[in-house]
Structures are given as C-alpha cells and as structure tokens.
C-alpha cells in the first residue's frame, strides 16, 4: 500500500514545470502527434492493420488516434478485461478455497486413531496452488491428527464443468505449458518442469527429473550426454495408454559441463496430477494412503478437515498480468461463471459475467466487440483501441480497485513481460502496461505519466503486418516511450530517433576486431556479462556487430528467454549481417556467429528459430563455404529426427525458395548421416495420419521430394544413405516444395 501512495503522489504531480509558459502544453501535444505520425508512416506499421488511441487522464481528451474504432485481435490485451471483471465482481480480497474432507465421521474418532476412510479434496478453481502450498495443506492435516487414509483419495472437480479448453485453444495443438487446461483442482499452473542434466562424461546417460516428482508420470528417458555444443533434446508429453497417467518421452543430447536444462509441459489430467502429488507429500510426512487416486464427488454431508486458502486476488492478478498467464486467465473466467451464474462454472457463463460488467458498469455495449475467452489466445477476440482505453480509464477512476489493478501490470524496463523493453528511455518506471503477442499480432496498452507530469492511457494494436514481429514491437514501444518523453529534453522526436536508429555499416577492420572481442566473451559463457552485452546490443548501430553481440549474449545466459528473443530478432540473412559475419569469422578462424545458437533453439522446437535456420540455409546455398553447408545440412537432418512436427510446420509456412533450399540441404544431411531407419521417416508417416488436411499434404509432399532427392544422391554417392522405408507415396510424385500458408 505504501508503494501505491508513492505512485499516487507521482501521478498527482502538476502538469509541466513551474512557470511553464502558456501554449507550451499544446505545443508538446503537437510535437507528439508529429512524432507518432512519423513512426506509423515510416515503419512496418504503415502496411499493417492498426488501431491506436492515446487519451489524457487529466482532461479526458483524445490527443492521438489512428483507426481508433477498428476491431482487431488484441492477443493477451484481453487479460486487461478479464482482470478488471475479476476485481470488480470478486473483490481484491477474494481467496480461492481448496477443501479437504472425509466421510461422515466424528472429529473425535479421527483424533482418536488418526485414520479416515476416504480423503476428499474439493477444488474451487485456485489458479495459484503450488507444490509448496499443497505441502502446507498437508502440514495442516498432519497437525489435525491425520495418520492414515485407509481408503482412496477422491478428487472433486464439481465446481467447474468438464470442458478443459476454452474457445481458441482448439486452433493450436501441442503439449506446451501455455496451453495448460483448466481445472477446479489444479497444481503448479497445470504445468510440470522436466529437468535435464548431463552425466559424468560424454556419452553417458543424462539424468531426467520431474519437479515435483510424482507417480502420475511415466518417464522414458533416452537422453545422452553430448559435447559442449550438443543441445538437441526433445521432450514430448501425452496421456499414457491407461488414461490415468502422463507419459514423458525424452531423447537427444544435453551438453557436458553446462549445468541443467528445463522444459515445461502442460498437464493432461489436472486432478490426478494433484492427487498423486498429494499422496507423495503425505507419504513424506508419514501419512499412509492405502487406496487409489481417483476422481469423484464428495458427499453433501462430508466433514471438513481443513480448508487451504490462496493468497488474495490482487496478488494472483500479478501472475496473470505481469507474466501473461493464459492458465490464470481461463481459471478466473470459470470462477466468475461459478460465482456469478452458479456451479458448475463454465467458460460461457464466465464470459457472460464479463460482458455484463462491461455493459452495465464500464459502458462498452455487448455486440460492439467479440470476447470468446479470457486469455486472448489465438484468433478468437476483437476489440478496438478506443474500447481498451474506455476500460482502462474506468478502472483508473474506480479508486477502491485502481491500486490493485495498476500494480498487477508490467513495469517498463523492470519486470514481467516488459522487463527488457523500454530500457534507456523515459518510459522506465513511468509506463505500466500489458503486452499482447501472437503470430502477426502485437499489442500494448496501459498507463503512462510523461516527464512533464501529464497522465495518459494508451492502446496500440497491430495485425497482419509484414516482416518480423520484432520490428513492429520496437515501433510500438517507440509510441509508448514518445508519450513518456513529453516534457523531456528533445521531446518525443528525440526518443523515437534513439529507439529506431538507422543502420551504419562499419569497416571490415572494425568488424574483425569487435567480432573477436565478443566471440571471446561468448566463449566464457559468464552470466554476469549479460547486462553489459544487452546494453552494448541496444547501442550498437552496425547490424553485423549487433548480431555478434546477440550471439555472445545468448551464450552468456541461454536459459534467459529474453536473450533468445534478442538473438532471433537480430539474425538476418542479408549481406550486411550474415554475409559480413561469415567472411569475418572465416578470416579469424572462428565459427560463424548466430549459427550454433539458432541450430540449438531450432532443435528445441522453437518455430521462429527454424524459420531463421531456413533463411540461413538459403543464403549458404549460394556460397562456396562447404563447411557451413555441411553443418546446416547435418543440423536439419538431426532436428528432423528430434522435432518432426515442428520441422513440418516450418516447411508449411516457409516461402517457396527457402523450402526448396531446406529440402536440398536436409537430403544432403540425411545422406551424410547414413541412417536408413532414421526416426524422421516414422514421424513423416505419423504426420500423414493427422486430422488436418493441410498437415497431411505437407508431410506427403516433403516425403516425396526428399525421396527423389535422396534417390538422386544415391546414384552418385556409394553409401547407405538415409532413404525412407520403401512405400508408395500417397500422392503422385511431385518435385515442388510445399507452398507457404495454410
């Protein structure tokens, strides 16, 4: 609360500085308008569909807008509406209960011998229950006197309906943690960490561990310890054949002497995950459980042993907004449905509660927007910038809720999804906002106080933009930073110039010197170098040097997602970047910067890294650098074995030229591997059984083209190449690579 008092004091500061001359206010707004128009007209935003509005909280006026009423996909900016409705309907002090009950036995009998026949666990949709908190609940049971469960642990999910995936989730299949399902009984955000570490020597079996360990998982670990540059492991998750456990399959390599690595996967059966973890925690405290773990419903007359309560909603909202948790958002929607329309909570009823709040209180009429889920995932929702700002202003004006609502948002340059954005600008600490990111969608909305003291709400959405998302994000950030710079020396135009600098190509001698320096820093792999390298990357104007810095930054701390993001944003196949880096690296007898990290990320299934790899393959094809060609070909062959589905998706979306180049290189890599029974071929066959016709078409085409290319290679290469098992193609043979789109 003290922090909010300080925030209020800052936001209450008078507009401008003492003695500010008349007309200065209007001049600053005009300068902002000119600067923002320059951003839109001279950036990828010009060729995108956009909706933009900036509105003063001091006088209510709209000081800048572009297509402010156009309905676009807001991505995770939808969470702004979910959070607002949850605060308004549930209250900031709302807590989520998890009840532990038993059969209709007297408390005295339980205290007498410490036994219960059945332990029921009834969930109320707590999105923040973790292993640590479940352990605390076990302590409560232990101190109550529980020593033994003679029967089953029964998990009661009746507070929610049985539908686990909200609208929009059906547009994307996979086992990634951000696709975690909902559940009235959920644990650890309905995701699990798979931790891998190398064995004692190269070639030894690597160690795989689950956090938390649980009998719910069936783990098949085929990971080996590779050399220091081998990190190509694949972790897949699925429901086991008994439909009561989750199977985790792991293969590939983890690098020797490089610490542990982790991958998060979604939980398929949330109540059973919680139940098995609970049983293990009880066993650790000496409480025996003789029966099974099963899903059921507690009887109406069951006795409550203890109730575990979550932290208050205002704390939970920080997980939602700062880290953009899809899981928390969808849990809140169902809780709103249960509290507002009755048990069981459903997605439809939860959305109806949000719509009622927006209609009756905020003033955004139902039918003027589209809201189908609470997280913003995929192509599901539509809002305008003007509507976002109406809601933001409403929450600002509602003092009992404003402190909690603002404090949940990411702080520019400091935390959440904004931790590494806006660094070095006046927006740091002054801007609090929610990000939104999907394929060809980028959004940012929130609050900002300018250097001059005026306060604003702003909303920017961009859909269907050409080129890389990173460029669009940089220009959206420039909009927010420009608003913060009102009243600063140089004003909005200066900050925009600083955030969108023109590239300056230096001399070859300078590149050689600096490439050697940053390569040495990257080779040390010291995490403490990361802040310096991040600052150097932001200030650097030579695009090739920036790429070298990005490589060193990634090597210094490859586990930090922001470093991978910078690397992928910086890699470019053109002459000014990759061409110059390749020639300079060869003169210095170094590995070409960015190649190894891109391969590493692609091997982990990163879709954007695969796209970058395809770009590099196309460029390498036109060079005489045989070592580079071989390295890329070998990488594609290995990745195809370890991440078949991701590789096929890359072929599906890549431009024609890049698909063709990648197929040529992959055929070369498979020939070099000389592995006729490579897992890649089995993966291709499995993909042809997909329910998605486009996926089937791509898999068949890729198999046909690769088979032809490998047959050509066999005619001139007397080795046992990695040809597919003999089988007639499902479609007529074609030499065309898969076309983009779909």
Q: What is the pLDDT of residues 554-579, one digit of tens each?
A: 999 888 888 998 999 899 998 999 99
pLDDT of residue 207: 94
Of the candidate ranges 161-165, 169-173, 659-663, the one whose mean pLDDT is the lowest: 169-173
Determine which of 427-436, 585-594, 625-634, 722-731 has the lowest per-residue pLDDT on average.
722-731
User: Is the confidence at residue 590, as pLDDT, over 80?
Assistant: yes
Mean pLDDT of 55-68: 96
Task: Give the pLDDT of residue 229.
Answer: 66
Q: What is the pLDDT of residue 131?
A: 96
Q: Report how far residue 567's alpha carbon sits from residue 104's, in angstroms, rounded to the nearest whole number.
A: 60
- Mean pLDDT over residues 184-205, rounded? 94
CATH of domain 97-163+272-310: 3.50.80.20
| Residue 547: predicted pLDDT | 95
Q: Is the pLDDT of residue 735 over 50?
A: no
Contacts of 145 (CB under 8 A, 6+ apart): 110, 111, 114
Query: Averaged over 334-356, what is the pLDDT?
Result: 98
In the prediction, which pLDDT does 717 show? 53
**Strands, sheet with 293-295, edge to edge from the N-terminal-most edge strand:** 293-295, 153-156, 119-123, 97-102, 303-309
Name which residue leads in pLDDT, 645 or 204. Answer: 204
DSSP string, 50-89: EEEEEEETTT--EEEEESTT--B--GGGHHHHHHHHHHHH
pLDDT band at 144 (very low <50, low <70, confident <90, very high): confident
HEC readout, 92-104: CCCCCEEEEEECC
pLDDT of residue 23: 66
Minimum mean pLDDT range among 100-114, 270-284, 294-308: 100-114
Q: What is the pLDDT of residue 149?
A: 94
Residue 10, pLDDT score: 42
Q: How confident is the model at residue 246 (pLDDT cuts 50, 70, 90)?
A: very high
Q: In the predicted model, is pLDDT for residue 734 greater than 70?
A: no
Task: Show the tokens assigned to 638.
Answer: 């290995």
Confidence of residue 731 (pLDDT cuts 50, 70, 90): very low
CB 362 within 8 A of CB 390: yes
pLDDT value at position 9?
45
At 533 the three-state DSSP class reads helix
**Residue range 159-187: average pLDDT?**
92
Residue 736 confidence class, pLDDT cut points 50, 70, 90: very low
Look at residue 2 and tell me whether its pLDDT is greater than 80: no
83: tokens are 């959070």
Indicate the pLDDT class of residue 20, thresholds 50, 70 and 90: very low
CATH fold for the domain made of 47-91+314-499 = Beta-lactamase (3.40.710)
Look at residue 594 and tell me whether its pLDDT is greater than 60. Answer: yes
Greater confidence (645 vs 366) lies with 366
Q: Answer whether residue 123 shows pLDDT above 90.
A: yes
Structure confidence at residue 118 (pLDDT): 93
Mean pLDDT in residue range 685-690: 85
For the residues 116-123, what does the mean pLDDT come to? 95
Strands 234-239 and 246-255: antiparallel
Residue 15 has pLDDT above 80, yes or no: no
pTM for the complete prediction? 0.86
Residue 12 has pLDDT above 90, yes or no: no
Q: What is the mean pLDDT of residues 96-125?
A: 86
Q: Tokens in use for 592?
A: 């070409």
Mean pLDDT throughout 176-187?
95
Residue 14 has pLDDT above 50, yes or no: no
- CA–CA gap between residue 458 and residue 480 (Å, rounded): 8
Q: For residue range 25-35, list pLDDT tens digits in order.
A: 788 889 999 99
CB atoms within 10 A of CB 16: 18
* pLDDT tens-place string over residues 444-464: 999 999 999 999 999 999 999
What local confidence, expressed as pLDDT, does residue 104 receive? 67
Res 721: pLDDT? 45
Mean pLDDT of the chain: 88
How confident is the model over 51-74, as a mean pLDDT?
97
- DSSP label at residue 738: P
Q: Is the predicted pLDDT of residue 726 greater than 80, yes or no?
A: no
User: Where are the domains positioned within the chain?
Assistant: 47-91+314-499, 97-163+272-310, 188-265, 503-593, 616-742
Q: Compare 171 and 163 and report the one with higher pLDDT.
A: 163
Using an 8 Å Cβ cutoff, are 654 and 662 in contact? yes
- C-alpha distances (whole Å) from 594 to each of 31, 564, 570, 628, 637 are 40, 11, 9, 12, 19
pLDDT for the residue numbered 89 = 98
Instruction: Return the minimum-mean-pLDDT range out of 355-369, 479-493, 578-592, 644-658.
Output: 644-658
Distances from the Cα of 337 to the Cα of 161, 301, 310, 332, 389, angstroms: 10, 25, 19, 9, 25
């Amino acid at each position: 609360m003290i922090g909010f008092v300080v925030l209020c004091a800052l936001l209450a500061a008078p507009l401008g500085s003492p003695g500010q001359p008349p007309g200065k206010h209007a001049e600053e707004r005009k300068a902002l308008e000119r600067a923002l128009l320059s951003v839109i007209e001279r950036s990828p935003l010009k060729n995108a569909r956009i909706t933009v509005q900036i509105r003063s909280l001091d006088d209510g006026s709209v000081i800048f807008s572009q297509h402010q009423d156009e309905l676009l996909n807001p991505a995770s900016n939808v969470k702004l509406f979910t959070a607002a409705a949850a605060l308004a309907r549930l209250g900031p002090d709302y807590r989520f209960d998890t009840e532990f009950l038993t059969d209709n036995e007297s408390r005295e009998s339980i205290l007498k011998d410490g036994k219960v026949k059945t332990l029921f666990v009834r969930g109320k949709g707590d999105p923040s229950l973790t292993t640590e908190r479940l352990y605390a609940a076990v302590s409560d049971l232990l101190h109550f006197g529980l020593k033994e469960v003679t029967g089953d642990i029964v998990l009661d999910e009746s507070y929610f309906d049985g539908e686990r995936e909200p609208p929009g989730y059906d547009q994307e299949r996979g086992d990634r943690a951000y696709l975690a399902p909902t559940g009235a009984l959920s644990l650890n955000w309905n995701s699990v960490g798979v931790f891998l570490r190398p064995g004692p020597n190269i070639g030894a079996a690597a160690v795989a561990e689950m956090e938390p360990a649980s009998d719910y998982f069936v783990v098949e670990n085929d990971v080996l310890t590779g050399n220091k540059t081998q990190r190509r492991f694949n972790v897949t998750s699925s429901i086991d054949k008994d439909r009561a456990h989750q199977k985790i399959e792991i293969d590939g390599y983890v690098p020797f002497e490089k610490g542990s690595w982790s991958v998060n996967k979604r939980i398929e059966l949330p109540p059973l995950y919680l139940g098995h973890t609970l049983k293990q925690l009880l066993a650790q405290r000496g409480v025996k459980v003789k029966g099974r773990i099963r899903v059921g419903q507690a009887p109406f007359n069951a006795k409550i042993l203890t109730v575990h309560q979550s932290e208050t909603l205002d704390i939970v909202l920080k997980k939602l907004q700062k880290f953009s948790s899809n899981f928390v958002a969808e849990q809140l929607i169902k809780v709103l449905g249960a509290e507002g329309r009755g048990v069981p909570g459903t997605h439809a009823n939860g959305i109806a509660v949000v719509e009622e709040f927006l209609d009756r209180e905020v003033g955004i009429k139902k039918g003027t927007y589209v809201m189908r889920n609470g997280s913003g995932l995929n192509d599901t929702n539509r809002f305008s910038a003007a509507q976002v700002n109406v809601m933001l202003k409403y929450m600002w004006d509602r003092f009992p809720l404003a402190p909690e609502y603002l404090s949940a948002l990411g702080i520019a340059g400091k935390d959440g999804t904004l931790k590494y954005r806006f660094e070095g600008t006046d927006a740091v600490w002054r801007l609090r906002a929610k990000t939104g990111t999907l394929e060809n969608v980028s959004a940012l909305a929130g609050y900002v106080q300018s250097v001059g003291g005026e306060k604003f709400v702003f909303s920017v959405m961009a859909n269907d933009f050409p080129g890389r998302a990173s460029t669009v994000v940089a220009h959206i950030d420039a909009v927010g930073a420009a608003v913060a710079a009102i009243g600063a020396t140089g004003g909005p135009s200066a900050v925009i110039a600083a955030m969108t600098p023109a590239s300056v190509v230096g001399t070859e001698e300078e590149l050689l010197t600096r490439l050697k320096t940053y390569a040495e820093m990257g080779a040390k792999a010291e995490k403490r170098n990361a802040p310096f390298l991040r600052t150097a990357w932001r200030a650097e104007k030579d695009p090739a040097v920036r790429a070298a810095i990005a490589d060193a930054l990634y090597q210094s701390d490859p586990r930090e997602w922001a470093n991978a993001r910078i690397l992928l944003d910086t890699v470019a196949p053109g002459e000014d970047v990759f061409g110059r880096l390749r020639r300079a690296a060869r003169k210095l007898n170094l590995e070409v910067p960015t190649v190894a990290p891109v391969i590493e990320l692609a091997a982990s299934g990163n879709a954007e890294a695969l796209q970058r790899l395809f770009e590099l393959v196309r460029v390498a094809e036109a060079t005489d650098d045989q070592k580079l060609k071989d390295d890329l070909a070998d990488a594609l062959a290995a990745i195809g074995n370890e991440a078949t589905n991701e590789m096929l998706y890359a072929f599906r979306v890549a431009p024609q030229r890049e698909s063709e180049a990648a197929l040529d290189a992959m055929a070369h890599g498979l020939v070099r591997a000389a592995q006729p029974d490579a897992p890649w071929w089995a993966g291709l066959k499995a993909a042809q059984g997909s329910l998605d016709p486009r996926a089937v078409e791509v898999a068949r085409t890729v198999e046909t083209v690769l088979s032809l290319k490998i047959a050509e290679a066999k005619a001139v290469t007397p080795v046992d190449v990695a040809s597919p098992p003999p089988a007639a193609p499902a479609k007529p043979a074609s030499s065309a690579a898969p076309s983009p789109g779909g």
